[in-house]
């Protein structure tokens, strides 16, 4: 046997062994990092659940019901941290995607409005909360102000309450069902709890990217755009037109998100708002994350070029990973690539 070939073979084996050991070491390091990250996330999540358990909350399902997988997760993992969700919040008769009959959904919401709890928190969105507004507007304005939390389909309730019961605090933020899937990252929840616990007077949402010339001009020249917040899910905002809960956009910073629509339908809905005069007096438009929609940024950028108002986009709120809270009627300032949200003092 030629010694040169043997030598080459040995070097090949040695090189492979070294490469294999290095690959194993890298994989081990990655595994360690993932374990550390998971441990950290679990600790953050546990802290959030424990903080939530200390709050006096009415859990309501005014739209679609909670999926059975969440109930299983609640019983297995969430409940042990002290967060108690009443059995009626889990009712899901799936009547055309409604959690229950209109009458039963309204009775539970009415009970929550008149209860001693400080917070009314929607379990999830889905479909149907707008059908409760006719009953809601007949209700005498409650003497006790509360906090209403939800987004997506809950936008209908958010708009009505924020525009008619202005002493209430209405927050576009994650809902209870998202606790099981950890769909929204923990800083969003932590900030929301800071607001609910009156720990902060203001907060900042960064990462705003201008979509048109007016947005770029405001950013580059250091101008401040001031206005109160309103908005929510685009489909529900458009549905509010010519109703008793029609969105009021005058002098507002309008935030908008949606999910699982097509980019052309989003463009069409925005054009409808423009044609209806809802964008003529806004101070700025801030688009969030549109999950399940391909090419939406291209369509939104084209739309932004057609309106005479600063337009921005961010991934910090919506149906995606991030869903930082946005407080309706809060005085807010857009400067550079950030929006500062000022909170009213709580009694």
* d(C-alpha 138, C-alpha 21), whole Å: 72
Is-catalytic flag, 319? yes
User: 339: how many CB neighbours lie within 10 A of its CB?
Assistant: 26
Task: Say which of 129, 152, 239, 269 is annotated catalytic.
Answer: 152
Residue 116: strand, helix, or coil: coil
String of b and e for 110-141 (b: at least 16 CB within 10 Å)?
Answer: eebbeeebbbbbbbbbbebbbebbeebeeeee
Task: Say which of 59, 172, 178, 319 is annotated catalytic.
Answer: 319
Q: What SS3 string covers 206-271?
A: ECCEECCHHHHHHHHCCCEEEEEEEEEEHHHHHHCCCCCCCCCCCCEEEEEEEECCCHHHHHHHHH
Is-catalytic flag, 295? no
Cβ(312)–Cβ(277) below 8 Å: no
* d(C-alpha 215, C-alpha 209), whole Å: 8
Task: Say which of 129, 257, 269, 332 is annotated catalytic.
Answer: 257
Per the listing, tokens 């946005």 go with 326
* d(C-alpha 231, C-alpha 312), whole Å: 14
Residue 184: strand, helix, or coil: coil
* d(C-alpha 218, C-alpha 336), whole Å: 7
Pairing between strand 57-60 and 224-233? unpaired
Cβ(86)–Cβ(66) below 8 Å: no
Nearest-10 Cα torsion for 229, 234, 235, 237: 30
Active site residues: 152, 257, 319
């Amino acid at each position: 046997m030629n010694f040169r070939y043997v030598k080459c073979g040995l070097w090949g084996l040695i090189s492979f062994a070294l490469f294999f050991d290095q690959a194993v070491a890298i994989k081990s390091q990655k595994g360690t990092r993932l374990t550390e990250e998971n441990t950290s996330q679990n600790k953050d999540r546990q802290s959030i659940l424990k903080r939530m358990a200390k709050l006096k909350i009415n859990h309501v399902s005014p739209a679609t019901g909670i999926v059975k997988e969440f109930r299983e997760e609640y019983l297995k993992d969430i409940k042990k941290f002290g967060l108690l969700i009443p059995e009626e919040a889990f009712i899901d008769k799936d009547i055309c995607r409604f959690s229950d009959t209109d009458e039963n959904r309204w009775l539970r919401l009415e009970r929550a409005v008149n209860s001693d709890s400080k917070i009314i928190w929607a379990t999830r969105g889905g479909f149907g909360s707008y059908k409760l507004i006719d009953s809601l507007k007949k209700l005498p304005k409650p003497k006790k102000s509360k906090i209403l939390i939800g987004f997506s389909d809950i936008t209908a309730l958010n708009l009505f309450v924020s525009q008619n019961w202005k002493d209430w605090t209405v927050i576009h933020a994650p809902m209870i069902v998202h606790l099981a899937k950890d769909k929204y990252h923990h800083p969003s929840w932590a900030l929301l709890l800071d607001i609910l616990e009156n720990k902060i007077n203001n907060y900042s949402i960064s990462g705003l990217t201008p979509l048109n010339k007016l947005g770029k001009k405001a950013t580059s020249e250091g101008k401040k755009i001031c206005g109160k917040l309103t908005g929510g899910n685009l489909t529900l905002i458009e549905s509010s037109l010519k109703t008793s809960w029609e969105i009021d956009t005058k002098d507002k910073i309008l935030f908008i998100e949606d999910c699982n629509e097509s980019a052309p339908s989003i463009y069409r809905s925005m054009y409808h708002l423009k044609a209806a005069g809802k964008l003529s007096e806004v101070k700025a438009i801030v688009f969030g994350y549109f999950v399940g929609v391909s090419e939406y940024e291209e369509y939104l950028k084209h739309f932004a070029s057609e309106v005479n108002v600063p337009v921005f986009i961010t991934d910090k709120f919506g149906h995606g990973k991030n869903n930082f809270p946005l407080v309706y009627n809060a005085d807010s300032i857009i400067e550079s690539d950030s929006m500062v949200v000022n909170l009213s003092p709580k009694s």
